[in-house]
Structure 1
Amino acid sequence: MDIVEIIESIGEGPAAALFGIVTGIIFGVAAQRSNFCLRAATVEFARGKLGQKVAIWFLTFSTAVVWVQGAQMLGLFRGIDSRVMSVPGSWSGAIIGGLMFGAGMVMARGCSGRLLVLASTGNLRSVVSGLIFAVTAQMSLKGILAPYRDTLASLWITGSENVSLLNLLHLPEWAGLALGVATAALALFLAVRNKLSAKVLVFASGVGFAVAVGWVLTWQLAQVAFDPVPVSSVTFSGPSANTLMFFLDRNAVLEFDVGLVPGVVIGAFLSSMLSREFAWQAFDSVPIMRRSMIGAVLMGFGAMLAGGCAIGNGVTGGSVFAATAWLALFCMWVGAMTTDYLLDQRNLSPAAAC
């Protein structure tokens, strides 16, 4: 059954939601089995290590770039049509929002995508933080925080559309795939040096593959749909807010974003049950809970200001070489490493900090 037949059978909105569920399940399974987490990678790097967490992140990132750029060269997808490239980008939002998000994910002990995966495996800490993240994201999108987000985002914008990093650096189109292959080589080197198992290699790569699946499915749907369909993929700032409102607003419509979040929950839950890793967990203390809640607020506002979360900017936006996404990713690393140094490393013994 092709996309046209799916649309004729269930309609455009349900088809988009179905594609979101499929993409989310792939992401949820792969992220749960690989323990993919940008926060863990930044903390490991900040403490002077190029260990397993860094290797896993580079595997995911490079796989996404290779699959997405390869799909583009085969005519299965066009990055220029993506939502992140077709709207104005914000340099100031990427910087300020990226720093806020990076600080928040260290405080909450996980980025928004990681919190969703952990919540699906019985981690009640992540349930609380994830809900606060979603509410704050919605407040930043259309609520009381929206004017502040708009003011900060408008300080420095790219123009009528976002900017391609490849065009900005005057590089040919094939340079994106070449960079992805080079990054993959680095990732494999780190993986071998850190003795990552074949299972982790496959599932870490699967997270990046999920990003490519989302891009291709939504682009293909946009080509045949009667109504405009946003070309998007895996991110958890907008989708978390949209999914929350879908269950609160009877007039909300089905779309890719609404299917993505439940798909991740289903995938991560089933994966944790099959691997016998599902376990109920709660906050250990009030200070930890307070810190996580503050971190979730910083992530919610920061993600909406930066135009995406650690996945949305760091992997999805990065895979189509949106310049603001790369800037936001860099600032997330800076914010996370600085926060880890100020809040956590100072409380470690010299041996533990190494």
Structure 2
Amino acid sequence: MLQMAITGILCGALLGFVMQRGRFCLTGGFRDMYIAKDNRMFYALLVAIAVQAVGVFLLIEAGAFEYTAGQFPLWATIAGAFIFGIGIILAGGCATGTWYRAGEGLIGSWIALAFYMLMAAIMKSGPLAQFTVEARTPVVGTDSIADTFGINVWFLVIPFVALVAFIVYRELRKPRVKIPGLKPKKTGLAHILFEKRWNPYVTAILIGLIATLAWPLSAASGRIFGLGITTPSANILQFLVTGDLDIINWGVFLVMGILFGSYFAAKMSGEFRLRTPDTKTVVRSSGGGILMGFGASLAGGCSIGNGLVMTSMMTWSGWVALVFMILGTWTASYFVFVRPSKKRAVARA
């Protein structure tokens, strides 16, 4: 238990620190693809997926652990991911983003996190547990894309890595817009870690490496998976209610570490402060948290579990969930941001 706690918290703390300092927010990234036509955060996600894919499949070939993709619950994945995408716009952050923003002192994120944990627990072991099982029971075959086509997984990983490398190369060749900043107050390593704006692709590489590291650390505790947020979040609430130590696994310590790491990063960079939301934000965050918990449980993963981990494992569920998660954020963005903006423009005309 002690080793599991130490490795889980340290891995989570690294992830929370890097995400907070790198402002790695998939909710904002998906939203910006639609509203601002800015794809940088999405490309950064692809970099993290590529790094993890190479790392994890090398570990599997080295015999570090074994992994089987299982079967593909198509309709549950589509519906759950779309609902989750709507939820993260209302909540102001995805599952991991909500954890690390809670560490920054955003009380709205605390509220979204509480309802997210509650709904996930209800879906996984509460009154809706049987509904979740039945909704995810209809499957359409193997979840592994490589197994579907009868090919070695490296025939998917290598072209994907090459494509991502080309996209990043093309992006880095574009003229950079210099953003004026304040005069640095720190020097050396302190300036780099706690003050300098991080490059999104460097942040993505670090996240991909941490995601790769999570697999053997988690496997050593008997949990054969990498980064995961929804089930561990639900387990925390279940433990607080029941006191059952059997539900405490490596993932629980991981999400706790995210909170600690983001708090440390925000505190050291001067970005931590308690921010009280207005009533509208409280209602929106609560509803967003509920939709996040419902959608992620139905889809079998959140923006990290499906969007980062299962995509790197080259599974249908990962990539289908990512597509419908993005469509959900775009749908919610239209009603939350675009439509009200158009109405205000018409009213001023």
TM-score bracket for this pair, using the shorter chain length: 0.7 to 0.9
- Partner SS state of residue 277, structure 1: coil
Question: Which runs of structure 2 are paired with 1:124-135 in the superposition (5 Å)?
Answer: 124-135=107-118
Q: In the alignment, residue 171 of structure 2 is paired with which amino acid?
A: L
d(CA) in 1 for partners of 2:21, 2:175: 17
8 Å contact 2:218–2:251 — kept in the other structure?
A: no
- Partner SS state of residue 302, structure 1: helix
Q: 1:103: Cα distance to partner?
A: 0.8
Could you tell me which residue of structure 2 aligns to residue 5 of structure 1?
Answer: none
Root-mean-square deviation (Å): 2.5
Larger deviation, residues 13-22 vs 122-131: 13-22
- Partner SS state of residue 172, structure 1: coil
- 168, 190, 196: which one pairs with 1:187? 168
Could you tell me which residue of structure 2 aligns to residue 18 of structure 1?
Answer: 6
Q: 1:298: Cα distance to partner?
A: 0.7
Question: Which runs of structure 2 are paired with 1:43-192 in the superposition (5 Å)?
Answer: 43-47=31-35, 49-80=37-68, 85-86=69-70, 88-154=71-137, 156-158=138-140, 162-178=142-158, 179-190=160-171
8 Å contact 1:102–1:334 — kept in the other structure?
A: yes
Could you tell me which residue of structure 2 aligns to residue 250 of structure 1?
Answer: 243
- Partner SS state of residue 225, structure 2: coil
Whether 1:274 aligns to 2:268 is: yes
Q: In the alignment, residue 325 of structure 1 is paired with which amino acid?
A: G
Whether 1:303 aligns to 2:296 is: yes
Question: Which runs of structure 2 are paired with 1:224-243 in the superposition (5 Å)?
Answer: 229-243=222-236
d(CA) in 1 for partners of 2:176, 2:55: 24
Task: Name structure 1 gaps, 5 residues minimum.
Answer: 1-12, 223-228
Q: 1:24: Cα distance to partner?
A: 0.7
Q: 1:278: Cα distance to partner?
A: 1.1
Task: Name structure 2 gaps, 5 residues minimum.
Answer: 178-196
d(CA) in 2 for partners of 1:194, 1:114: 29
Q: In the alignment, residue 161 of structure 2 is paired with which amino acid?
A: G
Q: In the alignment, residue 186 of structure 1 is paired with which amino acid?
A: I
Q: 1:287: Cα distance to partner?
A: 2.2
Identical aligned pairs, as a percentage?
A: 25
Report the TM-score, using the length of structure 2 for normalisation.
0.85
Q: 1:349: Cα distance to partner?
A: 4.8
Q: 1:168: Cα distance to partner?
A: 1.8
